[in-house]
């Protein structure tokens, strides 16, 4: 009789197509995400070097890395767009927990994501399609604001994580403090599996807590490829034994098997402990922590081992849930090559050589060149002419893509980020990633007549790629308005228009993306009555509006009884309400956090039509909002400033002058850390201001937090400027 393990292997084998290069069990789809400047791209570069994809390590500050391939990225030393690449890793025979795979390579698909808050959409869409992630933290700064944002995004999509505490070679690095930061600020059940041996200039290697041994990296080898594994010596034994005991205690709290051994006072074997860490990590109950330095090439190889050991393969994650297009019922798709094809398009990119690249993740089934797929959003059938494996900006042609794979295709029409690709005989809709609203806008105009013709196409292409970049036209002035997540975001957009599309533009001053909200409930009535001989127009809608909690969005509910508004006109009413909520009554800004009930109305047998009810609904909303004490709302940013103690008073005084609210003050190694909430309107030019106040020694980061009511006197100023 077959054992449970033999049965599992038989099932796994059945899920893999005979011609696939790498089985699902030996596939990892991971992302590398963190606060800006924590070392994500440097870490990716090291992984690519040690896996043999590249033969020379590039450096971010030299503009020579693989995944930062855009000109703007190399010039500025930051990641702007997420880059996908693939590598293969073979664990040493004694390292892995998968004995059946000893000496056999695993395929690791990596997406390196940006850290800057302006490009948060890249992180959001990447995490939506990944099975696991490496969260990188700075050994000196610990958990920073964008670290918390990335962590929340990963939690939203239930992505299991390994934490890598990087920069342990830097002055002021403190591994224990960084881990404690994770537990306090992120509520992460984080425990070390690989402790850094030494810190700052004395960083020598790592203590392997699970295997109870030491890894020493050779200082004579600048590439970090040479290291020795030896027994624990001297004080290392106490450190390793204490760390192991704490690790076993922590795992016993979240894994029943280790808890039983613990209660029986039995010591788990290395295999049992690793298997338990893997189960707990995949269940998002545990976060293994690794310490090292990517820049100094110490600790990266064993981090990749941990990725193989503890992060899930596509079979370990729950089956994909989709929705029936007609009745909204749930449809489950298991990860298997023999299933019905379904995939999610998570990123679009305008490539100058091949046209519009569409990156997608396959959840079930396979797709070949020449196959036809269905896009359920548009109802269009599309033929797949080319399949590509992406290596940052390089590409490799494929004949077939399998379940669990991340690939790209070209030549598709009318595609948006978040679209589903599926088998036309078995349609379904997958949940798309969600994106934040833009917080800043500016007017742009072409410099010449020739630029005018090209600008429309360039903006259209760029807004297709980036869901947080929105292009609109001001109906009153005819100006083109671009909106995004920050000044840097819009600056990069203009730069890309100039370089990639050869469009020169002039830009106005950045404008804040204000919103409008209401403070009380109110009723509104709208009528459209037109009679000019022949058939007229008649629509009559009565509704009420109620404020919702901040962040709840807008809701519309139909409460009409007795057929006073026929059912066929309710969709037109909804459309009119949606349209009216896009332009408020104070300054024409979108209205947020409001519940609208359609209550009553009347119709005419001959003169009523959809347009009449749509217009009546618009009038009714405007009437109700005007009575409901409308107020102006502005985006508030969470700001963290790190500065020498001597400048703390000046920094705080300046933030107060900017209408900021100081929420927390801490200190770390002779540096003051100030947390505040400040209106975005007051943060323009802050980087110049903080440099002059601190003689260039302070740094800050900020990210969108929420919307808050604008004070009355400032509301007046904003509306007068508009």
Sequence ranges of the domains in the chain = 25-310, 330-430, 440-513, 516-628, 632-721
Please enumerate in sequence order all residues whose Cβ is within 8 A of that of 145, keeping only pairs 6 or more positions apart, or say none.
Answer: 35, 638, 640, 701, 702, 703
User: Residue 236 is encoded by which pair of tokens?
Assistant: 């290392």
Given this chain, do its domains 440-513 and 632-721 carry the same CATH topology? Answer: yes
* pLDDT tens-digit readout, 10-46: 555 567 777 777 788 888 999 888 877 777 778 888 8
Distance CA 144, CA 662 (A): 17
Position 670 scores a pLDDT of 72
Position 377 scores a pLDDT of 86
Instruction: Please give the helix or strand (H or E) that residue 30 lies within, else none.
Output: strand 27-34
What is 632-721's CATH number? 3.30.70.240
Residue 161's nearest CA partner among 287, 251, 313, 73 is 287
User: Residue 454 is encoded by which pair of tokens?
Assistant: 């090209």
In 490-593, the DSSP E strands lie at 505-507, 511-512, 515-518, 522-530, 537-547, 554-558
User: Residue 535 is encoded by which pair of tokens?
Assistant: 């058939």
* pLDDT tens-digit readout, 536-574: 889 999 999 999 998 888 999 999 888 889 989 999 999
Position 251 scores a pLDDT of 93
**In the block, which residue shows the tokens 């000109």?**
71
Domain 516-628 bears CATH identifier 3.30.230.10: yes
Give the length of the chain: 722
Domain 330-430 bears CATH identifier 2.40.30.10: yes
Task: Characterize 421-444 residue by residue with b for buried, 16 or more Cβ atoms within 10 angstroms of its Cβ, and e for exposed.
Answer: bbbeebbbbbebbebeebbbbbbb
Position 588 scores a pLDDT of 87
Distance CA 699, CA 719 (A): 33
What is 25-310's CATH number? 3.40.50.300
What is 440-513's CATH number? 3.30.70.870
Position 1 scores a pLDDT of 45
- Give the residue ranges of the chain where pLDDT is below 70: 1-14, 54-82, 92-103, 115-118, 220-225, 352, 354, 392-393, 475-477, 532-534, 669, 722
Residue 513's nearest CA partner among 707, 655, 714, 716 is 707
Distances from the Cα of 246 to the Cα of 206, 214, 282, angstroms: 17, 18, 20
Distance CA 454, CA 279 (A): 53
Distances from the Cα of 605 to the Cα of 453, 572, 574, 599, 616, angstroms: 48, 17, 21, 20, 16
Whether residue 577 contacts residue 617, with contact meaning beta carbons closer than 8 Å, is answered with: yes
Position 521 scores a pLDDT of 94
Residue 109's nearest CA partner among 54, 30, 16, 24 is 30
């Amino acid at each position: 009789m077959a054992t449970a393990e033999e049965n599992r292997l038989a099932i796994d084998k059945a899920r893999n197509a005979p011609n696939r290069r790498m089985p699902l069990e030996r596939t990892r789809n991971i992302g590398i995400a963190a606060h800006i400047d924590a070392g994500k791209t440097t870490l990716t570069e090291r992984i690519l070097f040690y896996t043999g994809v590249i033969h020379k390590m590039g450096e971010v500050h030299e503009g020579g890395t693989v995944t930062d391939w855009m000109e703007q990225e190399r010039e500025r030393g930051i990641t702007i767009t997420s880059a996908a690449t693939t590598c293969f890793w073979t664990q040493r025979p004694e390292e892995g927990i998968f004995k059946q795979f000893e000496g056999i390579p695993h395929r690791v698909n990596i997406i390196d994501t940006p850290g800057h808050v302006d490009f948060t959409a890249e992180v959001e869409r990447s995490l939506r399609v990944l099975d696991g992630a490496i969260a990188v933290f700075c050994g000196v700064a610990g958990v920073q604001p964008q670290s918390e944002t990335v962590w929340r995004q990963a939690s939203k999509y239930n992505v299991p994580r390994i934490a890598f505490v990087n920069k342990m070679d830097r002055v002021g690095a403190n591994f224990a403090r960084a881990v404690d930061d994770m537990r306090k600020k992120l509520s992460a059940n984080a425990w070390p599996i690989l402790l850094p041996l030494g810190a700052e200039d004395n960083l020598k290697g790592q203590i392997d807590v699970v295997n109870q041994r030491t890894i020493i990296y050779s200082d004579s080898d600048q590439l970090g490829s040479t290291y020795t594994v030896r027994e624990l010596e001297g004080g290392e034994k106490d450190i390793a034994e204490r760390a192991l005991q704490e690790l076993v205690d922590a795992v016993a709290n979240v894994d029943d098997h280790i808890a039983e051994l613990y209660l029986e006072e039995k010591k788990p074997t290395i295999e049992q402990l690793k298997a338990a860490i893997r189960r707990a990590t995949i269940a998002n109950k545990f976060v293994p922590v690794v310490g090292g330095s990517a820049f100094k090439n110490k600790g990266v190889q064993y981090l990749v081992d941990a990725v193989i050991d503890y992060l899930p393969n596509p079979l370990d994650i729950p089956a994909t849930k989709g929705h029936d297009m007609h009745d909204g019922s749930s449809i489950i798709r298991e990860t298997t090559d023999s299933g019905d094809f379904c995939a999610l398009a998570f990123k679009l990119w305008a490539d100058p050589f091949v046209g519009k690249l569409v990156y997608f993740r396959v959840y079930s089934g396979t797709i070949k060149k020449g196959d036809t797929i269905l896009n359920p959003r548009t109802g269009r059938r599309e033929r797949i002419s080319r399949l590509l494996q992406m290596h940052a900006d390089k590409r490799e042609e494929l004949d077939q893509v399998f379940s669990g794979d991340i690939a790209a295709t070209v030549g598709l029409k009318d595609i948006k980020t978040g679209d589903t690709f599926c088998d036309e005989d078995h349609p379904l809709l997958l949940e798309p990633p969600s994106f934040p609203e833009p917080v800043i806008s500016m007017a742009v105009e072409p410099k010449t007549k020739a630029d005018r013709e090209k600008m429309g196409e360039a903006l259209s292409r760029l807004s297709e790629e980036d869901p947080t970049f929105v292009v609109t036209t001001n109906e009153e002035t005819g100006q083109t308005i671009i909106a995004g997540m920050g000044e840097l975001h819009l600056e990069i957009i203009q730069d890309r228009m100039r370089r990639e599309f050869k469009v020169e533009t002039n830009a106005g001053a950045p404008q804040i993306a204000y919103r409008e909200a209401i403070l009380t409930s109110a009723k509104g009535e709208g009528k459209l009555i037109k009679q000019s001989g022949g058939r007229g127009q008649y629509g009559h809608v009565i509704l009420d509006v109620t404020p919702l909690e901040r962040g709840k969005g807008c809701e519309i509910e139909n409460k009409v009884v007795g057929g006073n508004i026929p059912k066929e006109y309710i969709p037109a009413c909804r459309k009119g309400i949606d349209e009216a909520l896009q332009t408020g009554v104070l300054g024409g800004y979108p209205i947020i956090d409001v519940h609208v009930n359609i209550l009553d109305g009347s119709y005419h047998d001959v003169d009523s039509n959809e347009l009449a009810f749509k217009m009546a609904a618009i009038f009714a909303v405007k009437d109700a909002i005007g009575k409901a004490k409308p107020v102006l709302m502005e985006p508030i940013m969470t700001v963290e400033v790190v500065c020498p103690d001597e400048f703390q008073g000046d920094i705080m005084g300046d933030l107060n002058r900017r209408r900021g609210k100081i929420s927390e003050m801490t200190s770390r190694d002779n540096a003051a850390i100030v947390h505040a909430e400040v209106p975005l309107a007051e943060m323009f030019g802050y980087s110049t201001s903080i440099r002059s106040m601190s003689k260039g020694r302070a740094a800050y980061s900020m990210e969108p937090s929420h919307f808050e009511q604008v004070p009355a006197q400032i509301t007046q100023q904003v509306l007068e400027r508009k």
